[in-house]
Amino acid sequence: MLHLLKYKGMEVAKKIEFARGIFEQTLGLMFRRNIPADYAMIFVLKEPSPVNIHMLFVFFPIDVIFLNSEKKITGLSYLKPWAGYKSMKDIRYIIEMKKGSIEKNKFSVGEQMDFEDIS
């Protein structure tokens, strides 16, 4: 099944990987050398929570989009390899994408993201 990530009705990623379990979420993008431009890793939390994102063992910069339970953007961040860190509150979904995705797609706080949250 092909899953798409959309923003304002436009496809922004077609290679989607979901991270639901503690192991998948802890590992995230660690140890990878890069990701494709049309890729997104979506972290699905059981309930809105405070989150801390780190870039240990991530060898390339990424853009991170933070969403609430309604999949509305509540925060945007650019993280550098190894040294990046960001903390947010009341987050239900975290999307990690290739550096430049925020600017390219003109993501903005308050706007809606759309994807099928399969469990």
Any idea where the domains of the chain sit in the sequence? Answer: 5-113
Q: What is the mean pLDDT of residues 68-94?
A: 96
Cα separations in angstroms, 95 against 28, 76, 91: 11, 10, 11
Instruction: Reduce the secondary structure of 14-54 to three states and give it as a string.
Output: CEEEEECCHHHHHHCCCCCCCCCCCEEEEEEEEEEEEEEEE
**What's the pTM?**
0.94
The Cα 48–Cα 102 span in angstroms is 22
5-30 residue pLDDT tens: 999 999 999 999 999 999 999 999 99
Binning pLDDT at 50, 70 and 90, where does residue 116 land? confident
Which superfamily does CATH assign the domain made up of 5-113 to? Protein of unknown function DUF192 (2.60.120.1140)
